[in-house]
Amino acid sequence: MSSATFDVLRKVTTATITTMLLKKGIRRCWMNGPKPLVPGGERLIGPAFTLRFVPAREDLATPESWAKPTSTRGAIEAMPEGVIAVADAMGIVSAGIFGDILCARMKKRSVTALVTDGALRDRTGVLASGLPVWCAGLAAPASVNGLTFVGWNEPIGCGGCAIFPGDIIVVDDDGAVVIPQDLLEFVAHEGAEHELYESWVFTEVERGVKLPGLYPPDDDAKARYAQWRKRPA
Amino acid sequence: MSSATFDVLRKVTTATITTMLLKKGIRRCWMNGPKPLVPGGERLIGPAFTLRFVPAREDLATPESWAKPTSTRGAIEAMPEGVIAVADAMGIVSAGIFGDILCARMKKRSVTALVTDGALRDRTGVLASGLPVWCAGLAAPASVNGLTFVGWNEPIGCGGCAIFPGDIIVVDDDGAVVIPQDLLEFVAHEGAEHELYESWVFTEVERGVKLPGLYPPDDDAKARYAQWRKRPA
Amino acid sequence: MSSATFDVLRKVTTATITTMLLKKGIRRCWMNGPKPLVPGGERLIGPAFTLRFVPAREDLATPESWAKPTSTRGAIEAMPEGVIAVADAMGIVSAGIFGDILCARMKKRSVTALVTDGALRDRTGVLASGLPVWCAGLAAPASVNGLTFVGWNEPIGCGGCAIFPGDIIVVDDDGAVVIPQDLLEFVAHEGAEHELYESWVFTEVERGVKLPGLYPPDDDAKARYAQWRKRPA
Amino acid sequence: MSSATFDVLRKVTTATITTMLLKKGIRRCWMNGPKPLVPGGERLIGPAFTLRFVPAREDLATPESWAKPTSTRGAIEAMPEGVIAVADAMGIVSAGIFGDILCARMKKRSVTALVTDGALRDRTGVLASGLPVWCAGLAAPASVNGLTFVGWNEPIGCGGCAIFPGDIIVVDDDGAVVIPQDLLEFVAHEGAEHELYESWVFTEVERGVKLPGLYPPDDDAKARYAQWRKRPA
Amino acid sequence: MSSATFDVLRKVTTATITTMLLKKGIRRCWMNGPKPLVPGGERLIGPAFTLRFVPAREDLATPESWAKPTSTRGAIEAMPEGVIAVADAMGIVSAGIFGDILCARMKKRSVTALVTDGALRDRTGVLASGLPVWCAGLAAPASVNGLTFVGWNEPIGCGGCAIFPGDIIVVDDDGAVVIPQDLLEFVAHEGAEHELYESWVFTEVERGVKLPGLYPPDDDAKARYAQWRKRPA
Amino acid sequence: MSSATFDVLRKVTTATITTMLLKKGIRRCWMNGPKPLVPGGERLIGPAFTLRFVPAREDLATPESWAKPTSTRGAIEAMPEGVIAVADAMGIVSAGIFGDILCARMKKRSVTALVTDGALRDRTGVLASGLPVWCAGLAAPASVNGLTFVGWNEPIGCGGCAIFPGDIIVVDDDGAVVIPQDLLEFVAHEGAEHELYESWVFTEVERGVKLPGLYPPDDDAKARYAQWRKRPA
């Protein structure tokens, strides 16, 4: 995926992305659960780096397990620059998958963002780390309290969506969406066009035009939009 | 309903309204789900204009459906000035019923507020529209991703309450309540009296009076309140 | 419990406390539900003073019941200075257990904080009361709309945890945890040591050290930490 | 409560009982959760003997705790003949509160039935014990896996209802209902009359009479019923 | 819809119907909630006659409301022979929408079946009425305890599906599915063909053939099936 | 694992197994969700063969995907004789993971049982296949309606438990439990001893002995049991 496409996509809201994917028959692309820990930040994009947890078992999910090769620590060291880490926590919000130290290390490694249908822990420290986070809650207990980490870059479920490593993730104030790789170009360019159209609709609404016939447009509105579309920049 | 009654009611918290309705045997009047998108705003009041959705079916819930006569667009154009739109989204928070453009149009039409047990989409744009919103979440996907719009000004359920067109809706930081039309006068006037009484209780608590005997009042407290009640304004 | 121990514990995050308790085999110590009404405040500690509700029954849960000896009013007058009140609302968030007046009285009685897996009502007034609150939501209806108060200082459940009167409660931005009394010394002193160690890890992460071998530490990291530990203050 | 009243009540379905209680303004009387382990048995009645659990804590909820004075064992030995034991398991269905041996002992002590919003364990053995059981599920783990027993004959919540020791419990294929003691006579006698009326309605339906005007009856239907009511037995 | 099509469809399982609808892009056609009250009965088919409830409000949902023109009684008298009544109870299973008398009347009116995402009451009497029922539970309280009836033959949601009056409903042991009217012919005939194919696959599995290449079939399997398909009946 | 150990274990209930695992600190061993499709069958044991699903995505979860190498068909052909297949369906019960044909093939391959926290489809056919099934529901739609199959013999979550390939699964009327391999001998032999002890307790209860002092036993009961233990077979 080219950085030019990313630049186009960066101006497309997650709301518009879901509408473009619906045109391709894809309804399951918005993750139910992850919300921005700090709303109002900029939209972020990156390829998915997946993390997978299963439920805790008391003989496996222990602080000692953090030193094993298959650990969240190992996963973080395997993350390439620019990825968005997506963690399948099975929607469990009573254990925080990552805290301040792990987030700080991810930030250091230039990870773009962390997305999970689970919880984070150590809110103050996570905010201080500067890592952008989309999560479903905050909880004091460590991951091992409810979860066992089992691997990275496998297909996962997150918030009711299938996420495959390398899928494109976009996050903004409306949450997190996943774009299949082969639909990236379509979504970026149709989406940008759609944003332009909506900005025109907005000006029409501002001047008092009614919605029926405008959004979606009838022939008259299409003509007016085509006219506006040709305006000098 | 007279605007004088509305002026009285405007000073009565939703908390007090529920207590007045409980005196009339009504416990189901607070909608479980809608929260203010922006807390800390002023209390708002208006008659209910209802919107009804059913679950999506792939052949019906499409972007094309937005051009049909029975559409959210049509419903908005039918909203009289001053109403509070209440949308039954069956508690589904994985599709946003309205986004920036529809909210902007509602604002233009002088709709007082939007209340739903579902989600909004396009948070940034909705905030920019200036329409006050009480909802249960934010989601990027459009309504058609999970919902089919079927009509307006029918009886609906919202957040566990029955809402009939014309019922009085009041929203503040504690959420949204519904007042049956024939109880409006009672709730407004008893509620205002109750607020006055609570303001006196508050001064008593401030000077260290214990709660038993004060709230609810025993005979002594009633006498002291009656005295205070007669003070010059 | 000595105030010296409390002073040590005050610097230990709820996140670290849960890890210390896990060392003793206790996984159920973080309450799922209570969140700070105002995030970003200081960490608070106190012995638990418990409150218990059962579901409402229409003939019992009435405004009149507030004048009975076994009432929330009576419970508040029984609260010693410095306690943290923990209310078992069975996770019901459609009725607010306390509003502004009761919170103001608790504040007056020097109660440290209120924790519940239920809701508060009258958000504006509760904030004005100055009482720190950890709750699971806000709702306009009074407790009697959904709950019947049955007693205080009994064992309760709150957010999936067993709470016994006198257990130590700690609240911060990650929520509320309970420490069994006989583990207080261990948690405070091991926890403080753990915080010191994490502060060193943080400096290591800042200078680019990888997580495996650092957190948890291998022998080399242990040696480096021991060196740092001996530094002059 | 006299055994004569019980004999009358025994012929009144739980469905009819809830309608009689609604006439008195009581809507919260049917427990959401308990279902008959073996449907098709006879209707059972008895005063409530309550059991209360809170969530498990690993240092308290152990097999060793079964030998303590405050244990389910102790509670069973305190049960008078003829009671219906109602256990508040907080709706947790992943731990079985009782198994074959405890049920066998309850049967031996002439307990009428066991009702819970939690689960039983050891289905085969429980069936063999002959104790009639209304529960919300079956689970292999013992109570201590998820619950801590804290006492008996206290007010409890069960399936969304408040249950006070001595309230009257009735169970049949539609589940379990609770009757406040002071409404027992009303419910039994009005209920029996209602059953008689419904048996007449049934015969009317059988001969093809339409429902409007019949159920509830208009004046004509009332007259026909009065006539039928006077028939010789 | 011709009765010939119904005769074809009667031999197609609901499982196969959902697969045929998936070929047309429709995934939301199986209602999550309704289960057969008596498993093992025959498959039933009929056009949908819809019933709609909203939540109860204490001043409206009363036994008196049963005598109003817009009542469940009125709805039943409006049901044509052969329909399947589908009731939107918003998934509420703590109030039984219909009991023995209403089911008996529906049976008398030759209604084919009753489907709901809510509960029935009076299990014994409902079974005795002989009306086939698919529901999500059993509850003693009457509908007015939790629901207000608002109308019939409107679009509704039931178990996560949109149901329009006249849609075709099919029920069997796997639950209830809805077929849009314009897909009925396709589903019936493709479905019947699919059942034939599956019956051949079954014989192949019985003689030990592996699944890959068989189900779905590769070219060789297709050829063998074509051969078998031509066998004399 | 020797077949001798399995023979011992076969007589130990899942209820007793969970108690033995609790002695080793393991509370998460019973799967919340799977129930016997046909209660009353014999207890079954086998090593876990795991199957993993993630949520459906419309471009991947299609009937065509059934022909891919990574498909449920491929997984079934990889199952050794005697295993218990455990499928992680993320608790989704609105799509049936397997139907009659796949179950028939599993039976043909001498798979011992199928366990899932999801649903089966085609109840009649599954029963006819003779494969013992523990599942959380029945649903007409195929797996691709809600799920994408991603692999086998990976660690999975099922009903809140971590399941690793080769863990020992035991199923009976109380549901499904998982035994870590290295605890198998302990659980089998301690469990068998516990069953023997419980059978003695049962005879004591039958002759009217009280529970306190008997279960768990005090010194006197221990002595009586030791005596009984030595009885000639």
Q: What is the pLDDT of residues C134-190, one digit of tens each?
A: 999 999 999 999 999 999 999 999 999 999 999 999 999 999 999 999 999 999 999
C-beta neighbour count of F212 within 10 angstroms = 18
pLDDT at B145: 93
Nearest residue of C to residue B36, measured between CA atoms:
C138
Only one residue has tokens 């339409």, namely: D210
Integer CA distances (angstroms), C147 to C170, D152, D154, in order: 26, 20, 16
CA distance A61 to A55: 9
For residue F20, the chain A residues in CB contact (below 8 A) are none
Assess contact for D16 and D147: CB atoms under 8 A.
no
CB atoms F101 and E30 under 8 Å: no
Residues of chain A with pLDDT under 50: none
CB atoms B145 and A27 under 8 Å: yes
E1 pLDDT higher than 70: no
Interface test with A, best of F59, F144, F167 (most A CBs within 10 A): F59
E6 pLDDT higher than 70: yes
C64 pLDDT higher than 90: no
Q: For chains B and E, count residue pairs whose Cβ atoms are closer than 8 Å.
A: 72
Assess contact for A52 and A44: CB atoms under 8 A.
no
CA distance B1 to B13: 19
E195 pLDDT higher than 60: yes
Please name the member of D25, D54, D156 whose beta carbon is closest to the beta carbon of C58.
D25
pLDDT at D80: 98
Integer CA distances (angstroms), F180 to C182, D178, F30, F158, in order: 32, 44, 12, 14
Distance from CA of D77 to the nearest CA of F (A): 7
Q: Is the peptide bond before A216 cis (omega within 30 degrees of 0)?
A: yes
CA distance A150 to A152: 7
pTM: 0.97
pLDDT at D233: 66
Integer CA distances (angstroms), C207 to A30, A105, C188, C210, C230, in order: 37, 10, 29, 9, 20
Chain C contact partners (≥3 CB pairs within 8 A) = A, B, D
Please name the member of A29, A54, A58 whose beta carbon is closest to the beta carbon of F156.
A54
C-beta neighbour count of A112 within 10 angstroms = 22
pLDDT at D1: 55
Task: Dump the DSSP string for chain E.
Answer: --HHHHHHHTTS-HHHHHHHHHHTT----B-SS-EESSTT---EEEEEEEEEEEE--TTTSSGGGGGSSSSHHHHHHTPPTT-EEEEE-TT--SSBS--HHHHHHHHHTT--EEEESSBBS-HHHHHHHT--EEES-B-SSBGGGTEEEEEESS-EEETTEEE-TT-EEEEETTEEEEE-GGGHHHHHHHHHHHHHHHHHHHHHHHTT--STBBTTB-HHHHHHHHHHHTS--
Residue F229 DSSP symbol: H
Residue C61's pLDDT band, with cuts at 50, 70 and 90, is confident
pLDDT at B151: 97
Span C178-211, pLDDT tens digits: 999 999 999 999 999 999 999 999 999 999 999 9
B152 pLDDT higher than 60: yes
CB atoms B19 and C138 under 8 Å: no
Please name the member of D15, D27, D208 whose beta carbon is closest to the beta carbon of E121.
D15
Interface test with A, best of B57, B62, B70, B73 (most A CBs within 10 A): B73
Nearest residue of A to residue C177, measured between CA atoms:
A140
* C contact set with D (CB within 8 A): 24-29, 54-61, 90, 148, 150-151, 154-157, 160-163, 180
* A contact set with B (CB within 8 A): 13-15, 17-19, 22-23, 27, 29-30, 32, 35, 39, 160, 172-175, 177, 198, 201-202, 205-206, 208, 210-212, 215-216, 218
CB atoms C59 and D155 under 8 Å: no
pLDDT at C1: 56
CB atoms E138 and D211 under 8 Å: no
For residue B163, the chain E residues in CB contact (below 8 A) are 54
CB atoms C174 and A104 under 8 Å: no
CB atoms D28 and C58 under 8 Å: yes
Q: What is the mean pLDDT of residues C31-35?
A: 98
Mean pLDDT over all residues of chain C? 95
Assess contact for E139 and D174: CB atoms under 8 A.
yes
B64 pLDDT higher than 90: no
Task: Assign residue A160 a region (left: φ > 0; alpha: ψ between -120 and 50; beta: otherwise).
Answer: left
Distance from CA of F1 to the nearest CA of D (A): 23
CA distance E85 to E90: 15
Based on C-alpha coordinates, what's the Rg of chain F?
A: 20
C-beta neighbour count of F30 within 10 angstroms = 29
CB atoms E59 and B150 under 8 Å: no
pLDDT at F101: 97
pLDDT at F188: 97
Percentage of chain C beyond pLDDT 70 is 99
Task: Assign residue C205 a region (left: φ > 0; alpha: ψ between -120 and 50; beta: otherwise).
Answer: alpha
CA distance D83 to D113: 7
pLDDT at E67: 81
Interface test with A, best of B122, B131, B147, B152 (most A CBs within 10 A): B122
For residue D99, the chain F residues in CB contact (below 8 A) are 15
Only one residue has tokens 């420290």, namely: A125
B233 pLDDT higher than 80: no
Mean pLDDT over all residues of chain B? 95
Residues of chain F with pLDDT under 50: none
A72 versus E232: the higher-pLDDT residue is A72
CB atoms A18 and B140 under 8 Å: yes
Q: Name the burial class of residue B209, with classes exposed (0-12), middle (13-18) and buried (19+) by CB atoms within 10 angstroms of its CB.
A: middle
CB atoms A58 and F156 under 8 Å: no
Distance from CA of B136 to the nearest CA of E (A): 17
Residue E68's pLDDT band, with cuts at 50, 70 and 90, is confident
C-beta neighbour count of B4 within 10 angstroms = 9
Q: What is the pLDDT along chain D (233 residues), one digit of tens a residue?
A: 578 999 999 999 999 999 999 999 999 999 999 999 999 999 999 999 999 999 999 988 887 888 888 899 999 999 999 999 999 999 999 999 999 999 999 999 999 999 999 999 999 999 999 999 999 999 999 999 999 999 999 999 999 999 999 999 999 999 999 999 999 999 999 999 999 999 999 999 999 999 999 999 999 999 999 999 998 76
Query: Shortest CA distance to B98 belongs to which of B143, B146, B144, B151?
Result: B143
B91 pLDDT higher than 90: yes
Interface test with F, best of E11, E30, E43, E197 (most F CBs within 10 A): E30
Span D73-96, pLDDT tens digits: 999 999 999 999 999 999 999 999
Chain E contact partners (≥3 CB pairs within 8 A) = B, D, F
Q: Name the burial class of residue A174, with classes exposed (0-12), middle (13-18) and buried (19+) by CB atoms within 10 angstroms of its CB.
A: buried
For residue B63, the chain A residues in CB contact (below 8 A) are 19, 22-23, 216
